[in-house]
Chains A and B, each alone.
Chain A
Amino acid sequence: MKLTLKIWRQKNASAKGNFETYQMDNVSPEMAFLEMLDSLNKRLVEEDKDPVAFDHDCREGICGSCGMYINGHPHGPVPAITTCHLSMRFFKDGETVWIEPWRAKPFPVIKDLIVDRTAFDKIQIACGFISVNTGSAPEANNILIPKKISDEAFNSAICIGCGACVAACKNASAMLFVSAKISQYALLPQGRVEAKERVRAMVDKMDEVGFGSCSNTGACEAECPKQIKITNIARMNREFFKAF
């Protein structure tokens, strides 16, 4: 099938970017979205032009590297998947596809579709951990955790840190990301010990790096490739008030 791509091209962080148009004449519906971009890049290199830079790695939806804003959706129009899992069969022949980088002040563009997501790492460094030294852990089965609680913690822990929640939110808020981590630890007895310090430190860092606040719009939940729920945000808020 044929597609018209409108891709954000920006040489580096300080350059002014613009949309470039690329005609794709031979897109197979069996391709994955990134493979379609691979084929564009192959062509660009053959024409000695600068290929489109984008982050990607595992290509199986788990590393969280890839992420582009495609036709009004982070990771494209299909819910609950990452860009690397987006199949071209979800696009129509002749369609125009807009491809933009994540847009948020704490995620500055590095080049083309690559953005700097170290703001997420900074939040985790603030206190996204349980302070236990190697070797000092108790026997694993000494900590009994009800299956229901453990499963709930797991459902929060599956966040891949891709940043789609920030990209989707009209406020570029990172609340879903931060709350998922806080929820995981808040639910588990191991994490309760430092629960207060953790929520304070992480929320503090989240505000400091410049993310917006939550309007309970729910775009993050709708666009999260791992379907993380905004009930996590309510839990984080609870944890935050408890931390006074």
Chain B
Amino acid sequence: MGKLDAKIPAGPLAQKWTNYKATTKLVNPANKKKLEIIVIGTGLSGAGASSALGELGYSVKTFCYQDSPRRAHSVAAQGGINAAKNYQSDNDSVYRLFYDMIKGGDFRAREANVYRAAEVSNQVIDHYTALGVPFARDYGGTLNTRSFGGVQVSRTFYSSGQTGQQCLLGTYSSLNRQIKSGNVKMFPRREMLDLVLIEGKARGIITRNLVSGEIERHSAHAVVLATGGYGTIYFLSTLAVNSNASAAWKAHKKGAFFANPSFVQIHPTSIPQLNEFQSKLTLMSESLRNDGRIWVPKTKGDKRHANDIPEEERDYYLERRYPTFGNLVPRDVASRAAKERCDAGYGIGETGLAVNLDFRDAIKKQGKKAIENKYGNLFEMYRNITGIDSYVEPMRIYPAGHYTMGGLWVDYELMTTIPGLYSIGESNFSDHGANRLGASSLMQASGDGYFILPNTINNYLSGEISVPKISTDRLEFAEAEKASIERLNKLISIKGKKNAGSFHKRLGKIMWDHCGMSRNEAGLKEALKLINELKEEFWKELNVTGSLNEVNPELEKAGRVADYFELAELLVTDALNRKESCGAHFREEYQTPDGEAMRNDEEFTYVAAWEYAGEGKPPVLHKEELKFEEVEMKVRSYK
């Protein structure tokens, strides 16, 4: 366990970050230009880090698989971004934001990191505003906020239902400024195939140019992964369909520990699956729960039209079960409650896998105009997809895979267990514990990218100033490149009958059925078996058309799915290991008589960080014990 030193600075919680910044080692401005940093991913964390590092004078090389950095999936976040500004004077503070996150994460996150995320949140809002992000404003010209799932204060800044887009475009603009200045060199349409280690340190990457198919070598003094989450392991999720875990997984196989992989957030308000062809589940912002009421009929299998069901025959189950928070309970609680009702046979629609989100009362009380102002674009989107007008009848919603709290293990400096390899944003595990609260992902990703990493990476790089530009002719690069090409050729040479997408879909179903919103030992063991069988079939039956040296989306997809098989096994292994229910991880064996999650603090107050032990060998578990010095661990109740 000696390997897992989180390097948390000494001192009181509120002083740790200030002290760290005051005492950490720095790099002389003249030396920064000579130091190269690779950043993979251009979402809020990746593009934010690239900008901030570029501004500091480092030579940054930034990569993304999309055709433009502006398309990273942060763009799709709808609801908002949290900050402890306390503009509403409703008792908010850095401490309260920190506490809400720790409690929301069911006491499975690292105190010091979470406090710091809350601490930099205010700077994030200032920065975005200065970058021209048009956050919603009040008539007096000040910034407006709204309250968001799972908290009792109004601290969420937003731009209609497109906050992620606006923040990302702001970040993209600051990235562009650095590209113009020459401090950042942008490599779009590139996929990272492998991480290159030299003497145990992260020194570069192997990429494939997705246009020419060329395999490229890129070296640097440090590598930053900002590659997002792995929610598409469920195939159907709210993520972009090309989102993947391959970069993080390659890093894992090269020695970076993977922490809490089974902590996956299932978002309660997605448009339900409509048919078997579906490739994606579209999220309906959680903000809708501020005014919408969630219900199912009180009678099993009630097939009447929602509007024909009288008030007394409706079961507003969230309001019934959680009178204090009602429809605003955190995501994991809301998702599980929906699943519970549907599993019990009260679900609506043809599949019975949906519940109503009803705006009737809100429209009656506030008028259609007010609702349209708040959620117009969401109602519009809903109608485009389903053809249903939600001003007249309720929306149908169901939970969907959304965000992965798990990710690469990082210390306080956001460095993984590989020296010189950092992981920021959703790709790391650090701030959300077992469940993330709404509007905290934009906050954490932006904080990591703009304000934290640029202040911690110097500590490592100060020791690298004497290292000259690393040659990509080194043996380590050649070996990594050879291995990457071999793997791609192996995928191409299978020449079976089925496309990668069909395997992905089947893997997703296994994961959703056995390792989704609720898990049990038998199901998880079954999942391991099924994953293995499917994996074997994949390596026999896959067909990848075309060649290595051309635009080849099938090849890209196949590589990502192949990695997902391996990650899926780890995810299930982690879920099996954690014999408790906490946050999004709900083990059916561990619940209270009324169906609430039951934590086991005595045995599981730790971060499960998994070490890759080699092909076919079981992963090795390392535990980072979590110490709560500031907060008292309580049962997380929203009743």
Contacts and interface: CB of A to CB of B under 8 A. Distances in A.
Answer whether A and B touch in the complex at a CB cut-off of 8 Å. yes
Given A12-B550, A58-B75, A154-B160, A28 B166 contact: no
A48 B545 contact: yes
B417 interface: no
Interface in B122-156: 123, 125-127, 129-132, 134-143
B76 A145 contact: no
A85 B169 CA distance: 21
A225 to B, nearest CB: 10
Given A56-B241, A118-B188, A157-B169, A150 B130 contact: no
Nearest to A162: B71
Interface in A33-83: 34-36, 38-39, 41-42, 44-46, 48-51, 53, 55-65, 78, 80-81
A33 to B, nearest CB: 11
Interface stretch (B22-30, B298-306, B380-388, B623-631): B380-388
Contacts of A89: 387
A195 to B, nearest CB: 11
Interface in A81-107: 81, 84-85, 87, 89
A10 to B, nearest CB: 10
A190 B132 contact: yes
A60 B280 contact: yes
B85 interface: yes
Interface stretch (A129-137, A165-173, A209-217, A234-242): A129-137
Given A31-B275, A51-B545, A190-B132, A118 B499 contact: no
Q: Residue among A44, A45, A157 with the most chain B CB within 10 A?
A: A45
B134 A46 contact: no
Interface stretch (B174-182, B332-340, B524-532): B174-182
Interface string A105-147: 0000011001011101100111111111111111111011111
A125 B186 CA distance: 11
Contacts of B502: 42
B180 A35 contact: no
Given A60-B76, A63-B66, A134-B451, A87 B385 contact: yes
A218 interface: no
A148 B160 CA distance: 14
Contacts of B427: none
Nearest to B241: A59
Contact of A190 (B66, B130, B139, B495): B130
Contact of B277 (A30, A125, A147): A30
B450 interface: yes
A130 B131 CA distance: 6
A39 B277 contact: yes
A28 B274 CA distance: 11
A78 to B, nearest CB: 8
Contact of A150 (B137, B277, B385, B501): B137
B591 interface: no
A158 B165 contact: yes
Given A44-B545, A63-B66, A157-B134, A57 B126 contact: no
A62 B160 CA distance: 13
Contacts of B125: 140
Nearest to A116: B67
A184 B132 contact: yes
B279 interface: yes
Given A140-B129, A147-B137, A188-B134, A110 B68 contact: no
A130 B132 contact: yes
Interface string A184-214: 1100101100000000000000000000000
A147 B545 contact: no
B85 A46 contact: no
Contact of A51 (B131, B180, B283, B553): B553
A32 interface: yes
Contacts of A137: 123, 126-127, 129-131
B364 interface: no
A224 interface: no
A138 B137 CA distance: 17
Interface string B79-110: 00000010100000000000000000000000
A7 interface: no
B545 A144 contact: no
Contacts of B169: 157
25 contacts: A30-B275, A39-B277, A42-B501, A45-B498, A45-B543, A45-B545, A48-B545, A49-B545, A51-B545, A57-B241, A80-B380, A89-B387, A111-B550, A121-B188, A125-B179, A125-B180, A127-B180, A128-B173, A129-B131, A134-B51, A139-B126, A141-B143, A147-B139, A150-B136, A184-B134
Interface of A: 11-12, 28, 30-32, 34-36, 38-39, 41-42, 44-46, 48-51, 53, 55-65, 78, 80-81, 84-85, 87, 89, 110-111, 114, 116-118, 120-121, 124-141, 143-147, 150-151, 153-154, 157-158, 160-161, 184-185, 188, 190-191
Top-9 shortest CB links A-B: A144-B141, A137-B130, A129-B173, A45-B499, A154-B134, A59-B280, A140-B129, A111-B551, A137-B126
Given A46-B498, A60-B381, A137-B123, 12 more contacts: A51-B545, A60-B238, A62-B165, A63-B73, A110-B551, A114-B551, A116-B211, A134-B454, A145-B137, A146-B141, A147-B139, A160-B165
